[in-house]
């Protein structure tokens, strides 16, 4: 283990109840950047086309970053990679907290989980044992209770637990994996994949030191990075107000998705903002993930309603989804919704999204106004009704009553209910869109459309297009030649911006850094990442080589989807965003369209070396990246899918 | 010489940068459990408490050590562990009223803050001013 020697992969087979350890050469950390890149490589090689994300053959890879466990500022993150039960496509989902460092200190860089346990099981991974434990008495417990009891029963107060809540156990496709109590690898239903494996929790703890090739050089570059973070205004902003601090500015830009993306502005956005949280006494503490000097995490408590409700968070996405999306304007209601999602293990973005869809469906008469709550009662589907929202969250987690209709995600819900309801199902590729308005931000529109996980901000986050800070404007100037392209409503040069951001994101995840530091604020640059990776491994890596390695990772992930048959036809945005204009006071025609997206896609595919018509990597591109085996796998998959094409006249 | 580290648990975010810096500086590796500063975290409530030597006047740890392995450094006056002399008896751990001394079970020696020769790494990297250096006199 450790950043300066071989990469140690722990493999766990739940069906066979056995483990094995594999060593990968350190060069692989440079070729694939470490954590996420290697995890994607493993996923591609070790699953076949059409595999069942909830089946025995499903593989889940837990990959802390290559620098996780060191003092590299923000490097505490872990990416979980697998096939998404929600989309049936590639998924990577990232969590903060302290779990990743725990796995590293136990002596492992990457954990690969396969097979299905015959009964509820937990794993305990330390530097002396990998133990399969009976989790029958944890099954059914929420995330907080599970984490608390495991620490107690294992008599390890410092153990770090990643687990699923009841939603994951019930194969709810909105279920995430939670760690260190409140940190979520939320997106894409990977919690359901863990639940299908009967794996309730993975506890980690250890005392294996992280050794680096050149500690003195590493310390120097970390210091430089730390000083840059401390001096960056946007980092201070996130430290003060958390990610929810962004609500106010987004609302002022009329880009806050209100009421299922029907509007971009709400009157009282302050009441659900990070500023309100901090200034009105809801904030109990600021918290950091491992090694993070920004401390954007919160721990908050309700003040008037919901006595005793307290939890980690809320984040921007959560208050935007429940507060602006479902129209819950009372902070206390948002805090309770946040707490419920945390402890039940639900992705708050997707959960609030299906609830908004249900409210709109009732409003438009596609579903009844009153629905069965699964306990002999009824709840009323009405915008802004906090009781309904809170009840629905639990109904979804336990698949109770009408909750079962929503528990497979909004695309499936619209199919079950029928009518026109697919038009206000704000999803693409089967994933609910995160709370970002793409109709007035064209780089975001492209990034959301090309994202292999579906429409959200955590694959390429081209914030620079807003030119909100000196760092952002500098970047746009460097990439396009002129800072005037830092303008969200134009499409010029946006494919270039998106490609850079996707690459920066692949480096960020793979090293274990936080996108808050590399992308939302541009405090950590790819050059700094190259320097940290070089000092850690003793292998000299340049910024250009980092980008090249990132392209390797992005191509692999794209190839995973291509093997499943996905391509250009799937690089779309939700119907509403493509067809309904966003009202705004500036008189801008704010909508995404086929034409606009088509032009950007052509240019983007050209930059990536992908086929324009199919939107998949060309064999020559894969070969030039040293991914010849991936090219052959794709060729075989395409031939298998279109057997009759060859014989047709 | 009047150097002391002052902690403010209300500000601590539990990032462990202090432990990482201390362990790198003194052990050459990242191993938070070998740091001379210890952050106790309660992840369920997101609370965290940094604990580091107060550099007492008339230090009980020095009085407790049976072999005189705890010595004031000439530069700062900070009491440090002379690892050559330390016999690993843990008397100083018992004696410290703040629980500020830890133990390296592999080397069998006490781990104690030496104030980094007057340039405390932990206070330098702490992003929240939860550990600060105070100079008096
Ligand atoms: S180790 Fe404890 S007893 Fe010794 S000087 Fe520090 S705080 Fe005082
Ligand atoms: S002053 Fe130096 S030795 Fe003391 S706790 Fe801080 S980093 Fe460690
Ligand atoms: S560096 Fe500061 S904020 Fe971070 S854990 Fe240590 S004392 Fe707390």
What local confidence, expressed as pLDDT, does residue A643 receive?
A: 61
What local confidence, expressed as pLDDT, does residue A368 receive?
A: 97
Q: Which residues of A touch B45 (CB under 8 A)?
A: 284-285, 299, 310
CA pair distance A612, A187, nearest whole angstrom: 28
Residue among A163, A159, A294, A129 at smallest CA distance from A228:
A294
User: What is the count of residue pairs from A and B with beta carbons less than 8 Å apart?
Assistant: 89
- Identify the band that residue A50 occupies on the pLDDT scale cut at 50, 70 and 90: very high
Among A73, A128, A288, A516, the strongest candidate for a mutation testing the B interface, having the largest count of B CBs within 10 A, is A288
CA of A518 to the centre of ligand 3 (A): 22
Query: Cβ contacts of residue A261 below 8 Å, gap of 6+?
Result: A426, A433, A437, A574, A576, A577, A582
Distance (Å) of CA B105 to CA A415, A485, B61, B73, B87:
61, 59, 19, 24, 12
Q: Is the dihedral of CA A268, A273, A279, A285 positive or negative?
A: positive
Q: Is the CB of B14 under 6 A from ligand 1?
A: no
Q: What is the pTM of this model?
A: 0.96
3-state secondary structure A554-610: HHHHHHHHHHCCCCHHHCCCCHHHHHCCCCCCCCCCCCCCHHHHHHHHHHHHHHHCE
Q: How confident is the model over A410-431, as pLDDT tens digits?
A: 999 999 999 999 999 999 999 9
**Residue A545 C-alpha from the chain's centroid:** 25
Query: Cβ contacts of residue A646 below 8 Å, gap of 6+?
Result: none
Residue among A393, A245, A383 at smallest CA distance from A314:
A245
Q: How confident is the model over A592-614, as pLDDT tens digits?
A: 999 999 999 999 999 999 999 99
> Cα dihedral angle (A544, A32, A517, A1), rounded to 10 degrees?
-130
| ipTM beyond cut 0.90 | yes
CA pair distance A607, A617, nearest whole angstrom: 11
- Identify the band that residue B98 occupies on the pLDDT scale cut at 50, 70 and 90: very high
What local confidence, expressed as pLDDT, does residue A6 receive?
A: 87
Q: How confident is the model over B18-46, as pLDDT tens digits?
A: 999 999 999 999 999 999 999 999 999 99
What DSSP assignment string belongs to A502-563?
A: HHHHHHHHHHT--HHHHTSS--S-HHHHHHHHHHHHSS---HHHHHHHHHHHHHHHHHHHHH
Q: How confident is the model over A313-368, as pLDDT tens digits?
A: 999 999 999 999 999 999 999 999 999 999 999 999 999 999 999 999 999 999 99
Q: How confident is the model over A540-578, as pLDDT tens digits?
A: 999 999 999 999 999 999 999 999 999 999 999 999 999
Q: How confident is the model over A58-77, as pLDDT tens digits?
A: 999 999 999 999 999 999 99
| Percentage of residues of chain A with pLDDT beyond 70 | 98
Q: Which residues of A touch B119 (CB under 8 A)?
A: none
């Amino acid at each position: 283990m450790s950043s300066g020697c071989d990469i140690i992969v722990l493999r766990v087979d739940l069906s066979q109840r056995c483990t094995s350890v594999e060593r990968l050469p350190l060069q692989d950390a440079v070729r694939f950047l470490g954590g996420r890149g290697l995890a994607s490589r493993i996923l591609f090689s070790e699953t076949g086309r059409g595999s069942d994300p909830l089946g025995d053959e499903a593989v889940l890879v837990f990959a802390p970053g290559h620098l996780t466990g060191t003092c590299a500022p923000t490097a505490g993150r872990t990416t979980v990679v697998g096939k998404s039960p929600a989309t049936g496509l590639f998924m990577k989902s990232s969590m903060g907290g302290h779990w990743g460092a725990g796995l590293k200190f136990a002596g492992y860089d990457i954990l690969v989980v396969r097979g299905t346990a015959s009964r509820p099981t937990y794993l305990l991974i330390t530097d002396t044992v990998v133990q399969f434990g009976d989790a029958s008495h944890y099954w059914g417990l929420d995330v907080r209770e599970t984490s608390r009891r495991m620490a107690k029963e294992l008599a390890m107060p410092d153990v770090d637990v990643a687990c699923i809540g009841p939603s994951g156990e019930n194969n709810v496709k909105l279920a995430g994996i939670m760690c260190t109590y409140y940190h979520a690898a939320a997106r894409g239903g990977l919690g359901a994949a863990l639940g299908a494996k009967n794996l309730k929790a993975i506890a980690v703890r250890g005392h294996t030191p992280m050794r680096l090739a050149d500690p003195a050089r590493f310390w120097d570059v970390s210091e430089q990075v730390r000083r840059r973070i401390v001096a960056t205004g946007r980092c201070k902003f996130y430290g003060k107000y958390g990610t929810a601090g962004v609500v106010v500015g987004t609302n002022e830009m009329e880009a806050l998705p209100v009421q299922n993306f029907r509007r971009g502005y709400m009157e009282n956005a302050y009441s659900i903002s990070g500023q309100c949280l901090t200034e009105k006494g809801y904030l109990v503490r600021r918290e950091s993930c491992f090694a993070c000097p920004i401390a954007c995490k919160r721990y908050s408590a309700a003040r008037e309603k919901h006595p005793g409700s307290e939890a980690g968070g809320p984040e921007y996405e959560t208050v935007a989804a429940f507060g602006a999306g479902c129209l819950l304007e009372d902070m206390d209601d948002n805090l309770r919704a946040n707490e419920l999602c945390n402890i039940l293990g639900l992705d708050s973005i997707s959960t609030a999204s299906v609830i908004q869809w249900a409210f709109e469906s009732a409003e438009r008469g596609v579903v009844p106004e009153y629905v069965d709550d699964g306990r002999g009662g009824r709840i009323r589907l009405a915008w802004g009704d906090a009781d309904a929202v809170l009840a629905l969250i639990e109904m979804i987690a336990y698949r109770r009553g009408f909750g079962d209709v929503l528990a497979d995600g909004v695309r499936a819900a619209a199919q079950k209910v029928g009518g026109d309801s697919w038009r206000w199902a704000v999803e693409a590729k089967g994933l609910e869109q995160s709370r970002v308005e793409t109709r007035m931000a064209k780089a975001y529109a492209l990034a959301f459309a090309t994202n292999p996980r579906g429409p959200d901000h955590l694959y390429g986050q081209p914030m620079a297009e807003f030119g909100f800070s000196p760092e952002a404007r500098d970047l746009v100037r460097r990439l396009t030649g002129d800072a005037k392209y830092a303008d969200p409503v134009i499409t010029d040069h946006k494919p270039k911006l998106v490609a850079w951001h996707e690459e920066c994101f692949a480096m960020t995840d793979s090293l274990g850094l936080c996108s808050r530091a590399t992308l939302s604020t541009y405090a950590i640059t790819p050059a700094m990442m190259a320097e940290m990776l070089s000092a850690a491994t003793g292998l000299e890596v340049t910024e250009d080589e980092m980008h090249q390695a990132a392209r390797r990772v992005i191509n692999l992930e794209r190839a995973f989807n291509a093997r499943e048959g996905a391509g250009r036809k799937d690089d779309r945005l939700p119907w509403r965003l493509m067809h309904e204009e966003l009202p705004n006071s500036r008189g801008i025609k704010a909508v995404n369209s086929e034409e606009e997206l088509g032009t950007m896609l052509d240019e983007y595919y050209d930059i990536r070396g992908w086929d324009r018509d199919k939107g998949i990597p060309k064999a020559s591109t894969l070969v030039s990246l040293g991914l010849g085996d991936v090219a052959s796998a794709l060729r075989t998959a395409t031939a298998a899918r279109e057997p009759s094409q060859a014989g047709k006249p | 010489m009047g150097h002391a580290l002052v902690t403010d648990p209300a500000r601590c975010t539990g990032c462990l940068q202090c432990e990482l810096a201390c362990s790198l500086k003194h052990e050459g590796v990242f191993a938070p459990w070998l740091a001379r500063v210890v952050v106790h975290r309660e992840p369920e409530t997101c609370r965290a408490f940094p604990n580091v030597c107060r550099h007492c006047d008339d230090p009980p740890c020095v009085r407790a050590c049976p072999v005189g392995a705890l010595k004031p450094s000439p530069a700062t006056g900070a009491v440090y562990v002379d690892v050559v002399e330390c016999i690993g008896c843990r008397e100083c751990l018992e004696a410290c009223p703040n629980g500020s001394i830890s133990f390296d079970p592999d080397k069998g020696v006490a781990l104690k803050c030496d104030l980094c020769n007057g340039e405390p790494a932990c206070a330098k990297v702490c992003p929240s001013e939860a550990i600060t250096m105070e100079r008096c006199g």
